[in-house]
Amino acid sequence: MSAWLEACIARADDNTAGQSWLAAKRQESLELLRESPWPTRKTEAWKYTPLRVLQGFSGGAVGSAAVVDKIDDLNSIDLVFVDGNFDTEQLSVELPEGLSVTRLADADRATQAWAAKRFACIKPERHLFGLVNDVLFSDGVIIDVAAGCTIHQPIRVVQQLSEGAEAHTRVLVRLGEGAKAAVIEQCDGNSESFNTLVAEYQISAKAELEHYRFAFQVDKAMSVGGCHFDLAERAQLNSTLVGFGSTLSRVDVDIHHGGEHTFAKFNAIYLLDGRELFDLHATVEHANPNGRTIENIRCIIADHAKAVFNGRIHIHRDAQKVLAELNNRNLLLSDHAEINTKPELEIYADDVKCAHGATIAAMDEQALYYLQSRGVDRSKAQVMLSFGFINELVDQMPNQILAEWLRPQLRQRFSQMEVS
């Protein structure tokens, strides 16, 4: 076991956040964690993502987090976590009808009991840090959208971390039957910090969730979190993940089709530079018939950066008539960058339609020539093409105000990347 994990377990014993309602579950997770081997290069789920950077991180020195910028014209309901603690002042804003936001510590017994069930259920072999989040849990909220309600204002959950901070937060979202809402998870920061944001979504029958996760942490801001989606009958998910890399960035996305006629679309974009790392593990479980999944994962990588993608689609024996597509495309801007991609289809039903593919390529010479033949110089053409490559997915975002906000940030990020 690593020194870091030992220290983590020792700290867990002193952790009182969540108190009584969570105590038993936390104990369970602690036991699981004690038995969990520390991932090494031989651990498949962590093969390309070394965790040794964590060893140097001690945390504790807490400064002050930056102010959260509003997103122009988005009119979002902002829920802010500063260094792992929910900023309750944000709760004083008036929420639209049908939406309630409750801090887990303040929730009623029934809600807490429901929330507790979410703990100690994250598979340790794949996501050790789900357990770490369980035992070091600092704060969390439950976002409830009542059945049949449509919340027009997007709900934005912002994680802010000051230098040296560590945060283990939980966001639980429940969409009632036929409800519709948009949730944005955003992590910012470039100073040395560590977070394990775990967000879980229960999407009831016929409900529709529009979801975004912006993992904008760079440099030494470390993040190992995940999003878990449970789809009931005829539920729909449309999710977009955008990530920049850092010394340690790992996101686990789990989509569970728990009912029939479900639909999930998951698009991901990541732009990596320098010696950054970004690791995306996406798992889709089709446990029921007539479900549909579309996944588009695109990465642009420069310099000595490293990208990891593991995309697994598991179609259970009874999940007939499932349609699933997984497409991973990577654009390499440097000979020193590293891409590890592994699409996996595991199919036990005999009447399904599935496709998967992964490509790693340098710039398309034909398209470059086409742009040049109109007067655009080669380096500008490279920038246009690369940006176009990711912009295709930005164009698909349902919220175009958010897309407008995102584009200049991607452009700026991209302009800093070295094309060699």
Partner 1 sequence: MLKVKDLYASVEDKTILKGLSLNIKAGEVHAIMGPNGAGKSTLGYVLSGREGYSVEGGSAELDGKDILDMEADERACAGLFLAFQYPVEIPGVSNLEFLKASLDAQRKMQGVEPLTATEILKMARAACKQVHLPIEFLKRGVNEGFSGGEKKRNEILQMLMLQPKLCILDESDSGLDIDALQVVAEGVNSQRSPDRSFLIVTHYQRLLDYIKPDFVHVLADGKIVKSGGPELALELEENGYGWLNDNACEGQGA
- Residues of this chain that interact with partner 1 (CB under 8 A) are 364-367, 369-378, 380-381, 384-385, 387-392, 395
Q: Residue 58 has what DSSP assignment?
A: -
* Closer CB to partner 1, 303 or 392, in the complex: 392
| Partners of 227 in the β-ladder | 199, 253
Select 246 or 386, whichever has its Cβ closest to partner 1: 386
Least distance CB 372 / partner 1 (angstroms): 4
Beta-ladder partners of 308: 279, 340
Count Cβ atoms within 10 A of the Cβ of residue 238 and give its class: 0-12 exposed, 13-18 middle, 19 or more buried: buried
Rounded to the nearest whole angstrom, what is the least distance from the CB of residue 412 to partner 1 in the complex?
A: 17
User: What is the nearest approach in angstroms of partner 1 to the Cβ of residue 265?
Assistant: 17
Q: Are 264 and 239 in contact (CB under 8 A)?
A: yes
Q: Pairing mode, if any, of strands 323-332 and 155-160? A: unpaired
CB of 241 to partner 1, least distance (A): 17
Burial of 40 (0-12, 13-18, 19+ CB in 10 A): exposed
- Please say which residue, 12 or 371, places its beta carbon nearer to partner 1: 371
Tokens encoding 88: 């309750």
Nearest approach in angstroms of CB 384 to partner 1 is 5
Strand pairing of 180-187 and 208-215? parallel
Least Å from the CB of residue 183 to partner 1: 26
Strand pairing of 155-160 and 180-187? parallel
For residue 171, what are its two tokens? 């966001």
The least distance separating partner 1 from the CB of residue 411, rounded to whole angstroms, comes to 12
Asked whether the CA dihedral 103, 107, 111, 113 is positive or negative, the reply is: positive
d(CA 104, CA 138): 10
Any bridge partners for residue 209, and if so which?
181, 237
Alpha carbon distance 342, 314 (integer Å): 14
Using the minimum distance from each CB to partner 1, give the nearer residue, 260 or 392: 392
The answer to whether the beta carbons of residues 344 and 313 sit under 8 Å apart is yes
Residue 321 or 407 with smaller CB distance to partner 1: 407
Of 45 and 381, CB closest to partner 1? 381
Cβ closest to partner 1, residue 54 vs residue 371: 371
Strand partners, 160: 82
CB atoms within 10 A of CB 321: 14
Q: Whose Cβ is closer to partner 1: residue 9's or residue 367's?
A: 367
Shortest reach from residue 303's CB to partner 1, in Å: 22
